[in-house]
Amino acid sequence: MSETFAPYQKLLARMREVALVGSTGSMLSWDQETYMPPKAIDYRAEQLAFLSGWAHRQFTASDVGGWLEACEAHAFAPNSVEAVNVREWRRQYDRQARLPVALVEAMERARVLGREAWVQARKASVFETFRPHLETILDLNRQMAEHWGYEDSPYDALLEEYEPGVRASALKPLFAELRREIMAILPGAVAWSESTPADLLQGEYPEAAQQAFNREVAAAFGFDFEAGRIDTTTHPFCTGLGPRDCRITTRYDEKDFTQSLYGVMHETGHGLYEQGLLEEHYGTPLGSAVSLGMHESQSRFWENHIGRHPTFWERWHEAACSHFPGLRRLTPDHIGRAVSRVTPSFIRVEADEVTYDLHIILRFEVEVKLVEGQLSARDVPAYWNENFREMFGLEVPNDRMGCLQDIHWSMGSLGYFPTYTLGNLNSAQLFAAMHKAEPDLEAQLRRGSYEALLHWLRSRVHHQGCRLRPPELMVFATGQTTQAEFHVRHLRRKFLGG
């Protein structure tokens, strides 16, 4: 970073300012989800629209274009800090510069209002309350896709925002293959689960005790509570508000501690990625997560490959009993089977490891059809319910349990969902590679010793920031690009015994 090429320094200063205003907006959004009084919503929408408009103008100002050109003409060493940042800034600049300020601000407003309408709609299970907001969001997303441009489908232009380089035409066969494999595994996985009653873990788990246990687990995974916290929201999330400020949220069910616990493990995975980014590169691509699919690989890693590993409850049973004495009646193996129980169900975030991706595949289909104009917002509930029946063999009882369950569309995000499945595939692939590198991995997990794992993820993924693009990062970390086979093999081994 001793580089003193003036245009680069100007670019860096500008981008750090943009990141600072962006993180301020994230702070306002976090507050909106956690503590903001309801009547404050309109002014909060104004604030967010203003900040995002300001950041957009600063990011896309013509001087930025000039600095980028000067940097591109300059001979930065390949793969140097400067070369990587300039490459990514150029990509982002080209995308953002194509969006008119009015569209960016309209999107920000639609997000805030849409989010609030979704909360109400979901509460009352009335899709109609949310429909006009979905229409606005869809319309704005299509406008954005037109500004960005695409080859095959406007959906690709949206997807590019979350998972650079991935195309719907590539996801379709991958998801079709995954669907076939899951369908083949599902009956055996359900059979594996049948010896464990669905209500085995039902009991009394006071919220305060859950909070204490969750913190213990998150801290053991490596989450730094001096640089982060856990709050309560309807829809769990993780957000980085600065180089040492990462906030996780979860929700509690006092009859079932596993919802909040596995939610916290998941968000802790995201949080460890955020906390593992290099602080000296904060506000630049080198200090930023590379994609949502890679982010999700981290959450799924800790939630499924660690938290649902056969040895997990050997390590944590005693600690859990000190918070929840009722668990003494069960063996670690009982609990392990209960938290891995497979059964088709309605809610994505509560879905098991096997059926989870079926939820994503359904949303992916809905999104593509919405964006490509083959489905109208009005028809989403009917389409959802019909296809859900086909995939899961279940009748959706209401929209709250169906198409209103997720926050994403209300936040303006279309093209986000597929990254969840990419995350699942990546997490299994990373775990397999780590296992190869650490032959005594199972012994470490049995001891609850997570330092070596975290160190592996830090050096292979977190510290890399955007140095490599997602496919090359997977090659760097695991030896090959994202494959389905590791996830499928993980499921077969776990549920079919080989």
| Chain positions contacting a copy of itself, by CB under 8 A | 17, 20-21, 23-24, 27-28, 31, 35-40, 42-44, 46-47, 50-51, 224-229, 231, 241-247, 282
- What is the nearest approach in angstroms of a copy of itself to the Cβ of residue 129? 19
Question: 274 is written with which tokens?
Answer: 């955020």
Amino acid residing at 116:
E
- What is the nearest approach in angstroms of a copy of itself to the Cβ of residue 59? 16
Q: Which is nearer to a copy of itself, 250 or 405 (CB)?
A: 250
Going by C-beta distance under 8 Å and a sequence separation of 6 or more, which residues neighbour residue 192? 342, 495, 496
Residue 140 CA to residue 137 CA, distance in Å, equals 5
**245-250 and 238-242 as β-strands: parallel, antiparallel, unpaired?**
antiparallel
Task: State the distance between the two ends of the chain, measured CA to CA, in whole angstroms.
Answer: 50
- What is the nearest approach in angstroms of a copy of itself to the Cβ of residue 259? 23
Question: 360 is written with which tokens?
Answer: 């994503």
- What is the nearest approach in angstroms of a copy of itself to the Cβ of residue 248? 11
Q: Which is nearer to a copy of itself, 44 or 492 (CB)?
A: 44
Q: Which is nearer to a copy of itself, 55 or 362 (CB)?
A: 55
Residue 110 CA to residue 134 CA, distance in Å, equals 9
Amino acid residing at 439:
P
Q: Which residues pair with 256 in a beta bridge?
A: 253
Residue 315 CA to residue 449 CA, distance in Å, equals 10
As a whole number of Å, the CA-based R_g of the chain is 22
Q: Which is nearer to a copy of itself, 46 or 72 (CB)?
A: 46
CB of 88 closer than 8 Å to CB of 68: no
Residue 246 CA to residue 230 CA, distance in Å, equals 9
- What is the nearest approach in angstroms of a copy of itself to the Cβ of residue 38? 5
Q: Does 267 qualify as catalytic in the annotation?
A: yes
Q: Which is nearer to a copy of itself, 43 or 476 (CB)?
A: 43
CA atoms within 13 A on the CB side of 22: 18
Q: Which is nearer to a copy of itself, 222 or 243 (CB)?
A: 243
Helix 154-162 with 418-437: angle, nearest 10 deg: 40
- What is the nearest approach in angstroms of a copy of itself to the Cβ of residue 249? 12
Exactly one of 108, 267, 274, 353 is catalytic; which is it? 267
- What is the nearest approach in angstroms of a copy of itself to the Cβ of residue 242? 4
Alpha helix positions (H), 166-230: 168-193, 207-221
Amino acid residing at 73:
A
CA atoms within 13 A on the CB side of 313: 20
Residue 38 CA to residue 42 CA, distance in Å, equals 9
Q: Which is nearer to a copy of itself, 242 or 448 (CB)?
A: 242
Question: 366 is written with which tokens?
Answer: 């809905």
- Kindly list the catalytic residues: 267
